[in-house]
Amino acid sequence: MKIVFDNIVFGLQKSGGVSTLWYELLKRFFPFEKNIYFLDYKQGNDNLYRKTLNIPERLILNKGENRNILKYRYSNPKLTNFKAPFIFHSSYYRYCKNRNAINVTIVHDFTYEYYTRGIAKFVHSFQKGRAIKNSDGIICISENTKKDLLKFYPNTPLDKIKVIYNGVSSDYFPIDKTEPIGLYDERFKKLEDKKNVIFIGHRTKYKNFDVAVKTFAKLDNSYHFVIIGEPLKEEEQELVDKYISSNNYTVFSKLENTKVNVLYNYGFALLYPSSFEGFGIPVIEAMKTGLPVILHSNSSLPEVGGNAGVYVENIHENDFYEAVIQLLDDKYRTMVITKGFEQSSKFSWDITIEKYIEFYKELYDKRK
């Protein structure tokens, strides 16, 4: 069984949940490189995960082409040299036009459909819909995503759909916190002797970064606000400066997983005020390190957080503030941490990829 992996997502984002999934998938296939191939794009060189993958040039099918992603973003490859059935798995809503291709699509979420307007929504939905229609197999990363898929594409055959949860990296685990956090990184010294409240990831509107900022603003000076992600945009900087003293927050960008693991371990709580998630990988990452997660019970988050999340009734700073204060109770905090360890143990990239391989084989056997 030959497999072609389309790495286009590495050229579309520098980091993020989709890149995480794709990285974890690819690195587990390298031992079987005899039958795997790649489409790769030069813009992917800036992706945090692509940088760590040493893909041999001989396995890259488009190495002789102009590998500029702008040319290929919305096109679908033909790969005419493949004369027998093969798996074509794109990282982001493309399909192969070769009639021998067994097309597999991962559907991550429907944030564009719910939260975007205008031409961006139209273009994204057109590309997504085209990929879904031409796929032999569709992987949804949560039951909630499957529900949304059938809402927006009700004619999708159920026997094409497989729900396979994302995993969590082995880079996240509890560490011995007897040493000051500053020993791990000079930049972390300002976090010592503080109750560090963390916000991680993209800050698009539905992520409700403003709620996290206003929540932190209600806390006293024994807390420190840790923002992990891209540098603040001008309007975000203005928001933070309006509510929080410059001494009470720090932004960390382009951190390796090992450093994020340290921040999780020395954290007091993860604020996750998102209105919508296809999965929510940081929830499991944090729980795996023993960091309590405060979140709302919407979309896929109850599937991921289980009974270990600290759920708030409303996505409002008052609700999140009360949840932070509740974690000052040592008995309650210990219970939340224990449940988090139990919940996170249910997710593993090894198990996820095993299910991917099973699905590939199932689709391949149907075509043979």
Tens-digit pLDDT profile for residues 197-226: 999 998 999 999 999 999 999 999 999 999
Q: Look at residue 157 and tell me whether its pLDDT is greater than 90.
A: yes
Domain membership of residue 173 (yes or no) is no
pLDDT of residue 272: 98
Q: Are residues 54 and 125 in the same domain?
A: yes
Domain membership of residue 141 (yes or no) is yes
Across the range 349-354, mean pLDDT stands at 94
Q: Domain with 32 in it: what CATH number?
A: 3.40.50.2000
Q: Are residues 85 and 18 in the same domain?
A: yes
pLDDT of residue 14: 81
Q: Are residues 327 and 240 in the same domain?
A: yes
Is residue 151 packed enough to be buried (19+ CB in 10 Å), middle (13-18) or exposed (0-12)? Answer: exposed
- What is the Cα–Cα distance from 100 to 81, expressed in whole angstroms? 10
Q: Are residues 35 and 154 in the same domain?
A: yes
Is residue 168 packed enough to be buried (19+ CB in 10 Å), middle (13-18) or exposed (0-12)? Answer: buried
Q: Are residues 117 and 219 in the same domain?
A: no
Domain membership of residue 175 (yes or no) is no
Is residue 130 packed enough to be buried (19+ CB in 10 Å), middle (13-18) or exposed (0-12)? Answer: middle
pLDDT of residue 116: 87
Q: Band the pLDDT of 55: cuts 50, 70, 90.
A: confident
Q: Band the pLDDT of 62: cuts 50, 70, 90.
A: confident
Q: Look at residue 66 and tell me whether its pLDDT is greater than 70.
A: no
Q: Are residues 193 and 337 in the same domain?
A: yes
Q: Are residues 234 and 314 in the same domain?
A: yes
Q: Look at residue 23 and tell me whether its pLDDT is greater than 70.
A: yes
pLDDT of residue 118: 92
SS3 at position 104: strand
Q: Where are the alpha helices (DSSP H) in 116-179?
A: 118-133, 143-152
Q: Look at residue 72 and tell me whether its pLDDT is greater than 80.
A: no
SS3 at position 146: helix
Tokens at 245, concatenated: 């003293």
Q: Are residues 43 and 95 in the same domain?
A: yes
pLDDT of residue 57: 86
pLDDT of residue 44: 65
Instruction: Give the single-character DSSP code of 156.
Output: S
Q: Are residues 239 and 303 in the same domain?
A: yes
Q: Are residues 155 and 209 in the same domain?
A: no
pLDDT of residue 13: 83
Could you tell me the pTM of the whole model? Answer: 0.90
pLDDT of residue 321: 98
Domain membership of residue 176 (yes or no) is no
Domain membership of residue 172 (yes or no) is no
Least confident of 26-35, 306-315, 327-336: 26-35
- Render pLDDT for 287-313 as a digit per residue (tens, 0 to 9): 999 999 999 988 899 999 999 999 999
Classify strands 223-228 and 195-200 as parallel, antiparallel or unpaired. Answer: parallel
pLDDT of residue 68: 67
Range of the domain at 52: 3-167+349-367
pLDDT of residue 48: 80
Q: Are residues 298 and 153 in the same domain?
A: no
The mean pLDDT of the chain is 93
Do residues 135 and 153 lie in contact, with contact meaning Cβ atoms separated by under 8 Å?
no
Domain membership of residue 219 (yes or no) is yes
Q: Are residues 157 and 223 in the same domain?
A: no
Across the range 352-357, mean pLDDT stands at 95
Q: Provide the domain count of the chain.
A: 2
